């Protein structure tokens, strides 16, 4: 089958930037000199020039008698809160969704800063953060309303973060992830974070022995020790990072949460080489660091198993196909990719799954457009000039080009 192919954070202030796409620890680092923020990866890649896609599409306007509606798009504001079955009540999330989203976007950190007023001259504090583009504030509101702790603060011009730093509120965070454990390599970050939290809880951080233990733990958390800490504590005993082992996908809502953070619903249109027409294709993908390859392999078999379609003859056959993981998971350097591009698999597995276990945030609108185009392809509408024009209009308003 040709259809499937193919972090860390050290807190210094309240500004975060993602320095490595691939690292599956807490991906964001708080820094004081930047307003950069990672947008949700809705199209699987970065685009420094927002008009790049539109220019690409205009390139084939002269080759085909279709009308590119780049100047005719209706601009509007969107709600980033999915109105489907994922939310129970009006403002609550399934707890597994929160864990999945934290696996994608969460940051478990521990700060150790100079403090002249402290007896040891150092102040220690744990911190849990999720930072997003401001357009996805609604997701953070849902998380805050569900956990009933934390604060949401604007950071810079286009970023907002959910932050839990109160010791009593952090106990809620620890209790949550103890009950609904993380699935990716970030689970190792959490185990270190929890040890630091327990040291503070027992007030051991107020002793020199406890402080040195915290510094040793911090050496294996996210980016490790800063140069200033290395200089101040050159003889500290470093702690090995806990061994990570993938234990399977725990719940379909975890998949929905993780995909809301790290998934990509992408639409591609390109000129056919064999005839005067255009090829329309869809791609659902997730890209991770190579350390989380087992997570993507797990998704290969989990999606059809969680889907009610596996009770039908089509579903059973599809499940057998999906289990051929090498066709759907590819590796390149330090990254691993999971991708579904065959329209039958998108229509019979991906779309039904996320109709039942909903995407949240602005990405839910990209999924809705993704689904709309899949239905048009199924009805052969993409083979007409009118249908192709409609698909082009959808593409020009998806992902990073969507107004919010």
Specify whether the CB–CB gap between 175 and 194 falls below 8 A.
Answer: no
Number of Cβ atoms within 10 Å of the Cβ of 88? 10
> What fold characterizes domain 86-232?
Endonuclease I-creI (3.10.28)
Q: Where are the beta strands (DSSP E) in 165-305?
A: 263-271, 278-289
Sign of the CA dihedral running 182, 184, 190, 192: positive
Specify whether the CB–CB gap between 269 and 113 falls below 8 A.
Answer: no
Residue 277: the pLDDT is 67
This prediction's pTM: 0.76
Residue 210: the pLDDT is 84
Identify the bridge partners of residue 106 per DSSP, sorted by sequence position.
130
Tokens of 25: 């620890």
Per-domain boundaries in the chain: 41-82+247-401, 86-232
DSSP of 288-316: EEGGGHHHHHHHHHHHHHHSGGGGSHHHH
The helix or strand, by DSSP H or E, that contains position 16, with its residue range, turns out to be: strand 16-18
Secondary structure class of 121 (helix, strand, coil): coil
The helix or strand, by DSSP H or E, that contains position 122, with its residue range, turns out to be: strand 122-133
Sign of the CA dihedral running 360, 362, 366, 368: positive
Ordered per-residue pLDDT tens for the chain, 404 residues: 433 433 444 333 333 333 333 333 334 333 333 343 444 433 333 333 333 333 333 333 334 444 444 333 333 333 445 444 343 345 789 999 999 999 999 999 888 888 788 888 888 889 999 999 999 999 999 999 999 999 999 988 889 999 999 989 999 999 999 999 999 999 999 999 999 999 989 888 878 888 888 888 888 777 778 788 888 888 888 888 888 999 999 999 999 999 999 999 999 988 766 555 678 999 999 999 999 999 999 999 898 876 543 343 333 334 444 445 568 899 888 999 999 999 999 999 999 999 999 999 989 999 999 999 999 999 999 888 899 999 999 888 887 777 66
Class level of CATH domain 41-82+247-401: alpha beta
In angstroms, how far is CA 97 from the centroid of its own chain?
12
Q: How far apart are CA 330 and CA 327, in angstroms?
A: 8
Secondary structure class of 230 (helix, strand, coil): helix
Let me know how many helices (H) and strands (E) the chain has, helices first: 14, 10
Q: How far apart are CA 110 and CA 164, in angstroms?
A: 12
Residue 151: the pLDDT is 96
CA distances from 201 to 147, 163, 166, 215 (A): 20, 19, 12, 16
Domain 41-82+247-401 shares a fold with domain 86-232: yes
Identify the bridge partners of residue 281 per DSSP, sorted by sequence position.
268
Nearest 5 degrees, angle CA 402-CA 3-CA 54? 25
Residue 90: the pLDDT is 55
Q: How far apart are CA 219 and CA 396, in angstroms?
A: 45
Specify whether the CB–CB gap between 295 and 342 falls below 8 A.
Answer: no
Tokens of 2: 């040709």
The helix or strand, by DSSP H or E, that contains position 101, with its residue range, turns out to be: helix 95-105
Residue 404: the pLDDT is 61
Identify the bridge partners of residue 267 per DSSP, sorted by sequence position.
282
Specify whether the CB–CB gap between 129 and 29 falls below 8 A.
Answer: no
Identify the bridge partners of residue 368 per DSSP, sorted by sequence position.
none
């Amino acid at each position: 089958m040709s259809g499937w192919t193919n972090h860390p954070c050290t807190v210094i202030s309240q500004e975060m930037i993602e320095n490595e796409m691939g690292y599956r620890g807490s991906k964001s680092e708080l820094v004081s000199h930047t307003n950069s923020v990672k947008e949700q990866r809705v199209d699987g890649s970065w685009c420094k020039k927002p008009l790049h896609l539109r220019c690409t599409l205009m390139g084939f306007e002269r080759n085909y008698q279709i009308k590119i509606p780049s100047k005719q798009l209706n601009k509007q504001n969107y709600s980033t809160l999915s109105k489907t079955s994922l939310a129970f009540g009006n403002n609550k999330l399934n707890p597994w969704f929160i864990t999945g989203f934290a696996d994608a976007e969460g940051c478990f950190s521990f700060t150790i800063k100079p403090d002249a007023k402290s007896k040891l001259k150092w102040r220690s504090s744990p911190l849990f953060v999720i930072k997003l583009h401001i357009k996805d504030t609604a997701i953070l509101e849902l998380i805050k309303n569900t956990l009933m702790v934390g604060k949401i603060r604007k950071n810079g011009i286009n970023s907002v973060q959910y932050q839990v730093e109160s010791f009593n509120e952090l106990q809620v965070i620890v209790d949550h992830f103890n009950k609904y454990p993380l699935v990716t390599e970030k689970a190792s970050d959490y185990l270190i974070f929890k040890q630091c939290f327990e040291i503070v809880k027992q007030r051991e951080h107020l002793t020199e022995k406890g402080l040195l233990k915290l510094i040793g733990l911090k050496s294996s958390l996210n980016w490790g020790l800063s140069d200033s800490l290395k200089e101040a504590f050159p003889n500290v005993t470093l702690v090995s990072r806990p061994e990570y082992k993938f234990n399977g996908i725990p719940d379909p809502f975890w998949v929905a949460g993780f995909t809301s953070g790290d998934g990509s619903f992408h639409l591609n249109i390109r000129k056919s080489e064999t005839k005067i027409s255009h090829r329309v294709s869809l791609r659902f993908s997730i890209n991770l660091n190579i350390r989380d390859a087992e997570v993507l392999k797990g998704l290969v078999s989990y999606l059809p198993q969680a889907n009610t379609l596996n009770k039908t003859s089509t579903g059973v056959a599809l499940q057998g196909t999906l289990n051929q993981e090498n066709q759907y998971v590819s590796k390149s350097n330090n990254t691993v990719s999971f991708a579904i591009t065959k329209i039958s698999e998108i229509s019979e597995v991906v779309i039904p799954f996320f109709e039942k276990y909903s995407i949240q945030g602005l990405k839910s609108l990209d999924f809705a457009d993704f689904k709309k185009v899949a239905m048009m392809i199924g009805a052969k509408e993409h083979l007409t000039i009118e249908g192709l024009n409609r698909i082009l209009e959808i593409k020009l308003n998806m992902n990073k080009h969507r107004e919010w």
